[in-house]
Amino acid sequence: MHQILLLTNDHHWTQLEPASLGSEYELLVEKFAPDKITSEEIQRRTTAASAQVLVFGPDVEENILLETSLAISIAGRTECLALANPTENFLRKAMQSGVRDVVDPSGGPDKLTKSLLVLERISKAKTAYEANKTVSERDGIVAIVGPIGGVGKSTIAVNTAVALAQEHPNEVVLVDLDLVAGEIAELLHIEATTDISHLAVKDWVVNSTNLKLSLASHASGLLVLPAPSDLGQAEKVDEDVLGPIFEQLRNSFRYVIIDTGPGSTDATLAAIQTASDVIFVTCPEVSGVRVLDKHMKALHTVGLVSRKQHLILNKANPKSGLTQEDIESIVGLEVSIVLPEEPKVITSGNQAIPYLEMQPKSPLSSGFKHAAHIVKGETVTTTNKPKSRGWFK
């Protein structure tokens, strides 16, 4: 039986019958003095009630709600729901503070029960995941690397992260580490107030609370740490702080996807050094593949080799460019996924809609989902090449 603490003075909810939520829930409704209630007091009540779920009533002041939810989510023992008007602004702030769901009070007990059922399924899945995963799977930091620009690295990063977020909302973070020309915020139409340059500064103390508050949210459930908005801010980034930031993200979320900038910048090297997986991206052009080969050999020379390396061949066209076999021979790494050339990718970028959401059933979207499987540590199923095109290895 799940213990639920509902904090409210609203008479519509204080009169709620425990049975209305179902026999599997034990409901405790507590009132409070609006002028005296504090975040610390709510946390004390939650602990005293041994509540698995804390539900904020519609009359709980917003700042208290957000502060309390953030503290409770960091502790990780209790899930938080909010009975509130689900405006876009409030949803964004609530999600950043760890609120699992915002339920419109007008929906009554039925709407709350549905939210609780979803929360229960997530909790069971998370418990099973924690019980079965190996030590290496606990890492969950993936660096997506393309030594030259124009190979579609950011598109792959965005759509792979969105595919993961669709399965694990609010548990996937996409970091835009292209400090000079990062475009993740634009590709997702996110208006962020903070970016990585506000965190990666000298003497910055790694703080989970500040880090979580710095993440922007996307409608897919993806969380984003954007690149600096201008070159001046980019120059303030201290690469020595990036590793601790990635580690803190890994401790707080299930998956961390890092979209690196082109070349072997200090920021990119910091990402590779921290990552459990590195996904290299190339196109079938000779010059690009040769640069990738030099880049990979340089990384091996200096000892920057992750435990798991993968290669994605992007913008593949069977009528032109190097073949998959040619590329594997040059770089010495087996191609994991072949993504087809797709003109509509430009349209999705211009409209700031992830291609995966615009064309969910296309071969390219299937490729992005396969990339998500790689991130999760799952084996990408080998399929025979169809007569027209063979996209998956």
Judgement on whether residues 92 and 178 belong to the same structural domain of the protein: no
Say if residue 174 is in the same domain as residue 71: no
Same-domain check for residues 181 and 126: no
- For residue 384, what pLDDT is reported? 32
C-alpha to C-alpha distance for 196 and 226, rounded to whole angstroms: 6
Report the largest interatomic distance among the alpha carbons of the chain, rounded to a whole angstrom.
72
Q: What's the CATH code of the domain at 49? A: 3.40.50.2300
Task: Show which of 132, 158, 183 is a domain's final residue.
Answer: 132
Q: Is residue 268 part of a domain?
A: yes
Burial 65-97 (b: 16+ CB within 10 A, else e): bbbbbbbbbeeeebbbbbbbeeeeebbbbbbbb
Residues 6+ apart with CB under 8 A from 143: 258, 260, 268, 271, 272, 274, 275, 277, 278, 279, 306
* Residue in 340, 345, 327, 343 with CA at minimum distance from that of residue 386: 340
Number of domains in the chain: 2
- Assess contact for 156 and 368: CB atoms under 8 A: yes
Between CA 186 and CA 230 the distance in angstroms is 13
- What's the pTM? 0.62
- The CATH number of the domain where 304 resides is what? 3.40.50.300
Residue 381 lies in a domain: no
Q: Give the pLDDT confidence of 89-110 residue by residue, as tens digits.
A: 898 888 778 888 899 998 888 8
According to the model, what pLDDT value does residue 60 have?
A: 94
Beta-strand relationship, 172-177 and 223-225: parallel
In a domain, 393, yes or no: no
Of 100, 132, 164, the last residue of a domain is: 132
Q: Strand, coil or helix: what is 219? A: coil
Asked if residue 387 is part of any domain, the answer here is no
Inside any domain, residue 337: yes
Do 248 and 275 belong together in one domain? yes
In a domain, 297, yes or no: yes
Amino acid 269: pLDDT? 85
For 334, the domain range is: 136-375
Looking at residue 158, its pLDDT comes to: 92
Residues 120 and 167 in one domain: no
Pairing of strands 255-260, 141-145: parallel
Domain check: are 71 and 166 in the same one? no
Residue 139 pLDDT: 57
Tell me, yes or no, whether 46 lies in a domain.
yes
**Alpha carbon distance 220, 115 (integer Å):** 17
Per-residue pLDDT tens, the chain, 393 aa: give them: 478 899 999 988 888 776 666 666 788 899 998 888 999 999 999 988 888 889 999 999 999 999 998 888 766 678 889 999 989 889 888 877 888 889 999 888 888 888 887 777 666 555 554 444 443 444 588 999 988 888 889 999 999 999 999 888 888 999 998 888 888 888 988 887 788 877 777 766 666 777 777 888 898 889 998 888 777 777 878 777 788 888 888 888 889 999 988 877 888 888 888 888 899 998 888 888 888 888 888 777 666 666 688 999 998 887 788 888 888 888 888 888 899 888 888 888 888 888 888 888 889 988 899 888 888 877 665 433 433 334 444
